[in-house]
A and B are shown apart, each in its own frame.
Chain A
């Protein structure tokens, strides 16, 4: 069993496309600059936040402030993920098409699924690297208490799931449309629709609920709109972890956490819906991409299956 597992895993890591993509991405000077810039931005923000909060304080151990810093950093990271992922993933297939390298790639024995899945892995690998590199910065919060590693991992888990879903959406558009420009626009539009559109729609449903005699339906619609929104689900996670503190004076932040509690987004059904939509949705989008990449693949498989059954 282990040998089979090792062979399969070895084959995956021995995937020539994966090695080529990683080599190309990591060799570029842009990667080095992007990683450095990302760490500098997160570092500057984290240290500035700490400096402002430590000034004039007599106590170094302030769990409330630490939770606040952690929440702030995690939201900054979520914003960066939602901003950077489409930029990286929206050109992976359309870029191959534009560079005229796709036809040759498709005449190799690599399956369309293998091509799409590898592209997905390499797209998220850079972002995963960025997130992992911020671990030392996050660990600063442990110095001040109030946050434990399991809580950090839970938030990172949510972010990895969101990152994977955004990459799938971007690869989907990259496969469907011919031009990278359009693919990038559509990817950002989809992310904006989920993040900002979802918040606006949820707010509208909440407003309808206050003016409608049949409140329950509108509240349920609102809950659905918030449930698929990573901003609210991250707030839900942080609420569950006990990070909600009186320090959230900002009205926007306060409204997000209030909404989470009003709609009970910490509940198991909300999390089930979120994880199902994001994991299954990502998988489904990648399957569509594989089908679109070589349209005949599934038709032929279907014909073969039919022939085999009739035999």
Chain B
């Protein structure tokens, strides 16, 4: 449904997007993850026809974003990371304005306004002025606005940014509900656990390039299959790190100092007991070996670090 082929965008000498190849299948919720400045917003802006790519191509439902921009605009609902609302317009008028702009008939506008406001829990605010709504309500209204013309594709740029925890949860639940409506959703965020709950697939972007892409299950399996362990010793952490790097079941030494060594361990709990035993026999003064929070965040950091260091990028799928 959304495809990019060697997409590039340069701002003077800065390459914001570099040979980005993306393929979002129809009906999936795709999480687009990356640090600030990784090129997420630029990519989404190109897909939303707000920006022209320097080179490469991008397609939304088969329509090319530069040559068929008018068609693409009808096919997408776009919600930028930060957006304002018009003063002196009620919620109903606000939605009616965008509905009319998309050519939705008068009858359908009324019907969809009711339906969408119910979906985003704003039915009781229909006659409120939009500028009097809270930030969380405005974000939800923005989502309703992007659905006014019932587009098959939704492009949401950090929809939960700047929201309080309660509003974030509400927004997450609404986006989960979009899956049932068979929408293809491309959603960017730098908060990975949140995306893991909402998305079917996740793509990690670093410096404008897609460094990893996989289904959420694969990512979770990868994370859970490779636990991060911290080995605590009285001294000799550096020497231990050198030795652990070549041990079976240890795929990576993440960090170390004189008293701690963090490793990625792919073995079972029995393998872990065996490792502890072997280290004790070898003569290391072990204080403890414990599992530290293994999460998507760590995977993300590791992937981006690999990319930074020019090492081969982890292929998840």
Using a CB–CB cutoff of 8 Å, the interface residues on chain A facing chain B are 14, 16-17, 19-20, 23-24, 27-28, 99-101, 103-104, 106-110, 294-296, 299-300, 303-304
A-binding segment of B83-91, B234-242, B265-273: B83-91
Q: CA separation between A16 and B109, bound complex, in Å?
A: 13
Given contacts A103-B50, A107-B78, contact A24 B73 (CB under 8 A): no
Q: A16-B100, A19-B100, A104-B79 are in contact. List 4 more A-B contacts (CB 8 A).
A: A20-B93, A106-B49, A109-B70, A296-B69
Q: CA separation between A304 and B68, bound complex, in Å?
A: 10
Q: CA separation between A103 and B42, bound complex, in Å?
A: 13
Q: CA separation between A299 and B66, bound complex, in Å?
A: 10
Given contacts A107-B76, A109-B74, contact A16 B101 (CB under 8 A): yes
CB <8 Å contact, B52 and A299: yes
CB <8 Å contact, B74 and A28: no
Q: CA separation between A169 and B67, bound complex, in Å?
A: 31
Residues of A within 8 A of B86 (CB): 20, 24, 99, 101
Query: Does B80 interact with chain A (Cβ within 8 Å)?
Result: yes
Residues from 81 to 133 in B contacting A, C-beta threshold 8 Å: 82-89, 93, 96-98, 100-103
Helix, strand, loop or mixed for chain A's interface? Answer: helix
Q: What are the 4 tightest A-B residue pairs by CB atom distance, in nearest-first order?
A: A16-B100, A99-B84, A100-B84, A108-B101
Interface size on B, residues (CB 8 A): 33
Residues of B within 8 A of A295 (CB): 52
Q: How far is the CB of B197 from chain A (nearest CB, A)?
A: 26
Closest to A103 in B: B80
| A/B interface sample: 14 pairs, CB < 8 A | A16-B98, A17-B97, A24-B87, A27-B88, A100-B82, A103-B78, A104-B83, A107-B50, A107-B73, A107-B76, A294-B50, A296-B66, A300-B69, A303-B67
Residues of A within 8 A of B45 (CB): 103
Residues of A within 8 A of B87 (CB): 24
Q: CA separation between A277 and B69, bound complex, in Å?
A: 34
Residues of A within 8 A of B67 (CB): 300, 303-304
CB <8 Å contact, A107 and B48: yes
Query: Does B145 interact with chain A (Cβ within 8 Å)?
Result: yes
Q: CA separation between A305 and B66, bound complex, in Å?
A: 14
Q: CA separation between A303 and B64, bound complex, in Å?
A: 14
Closest to B83 in A: A100
Residues of A within 8 A of B142 (CB): 104
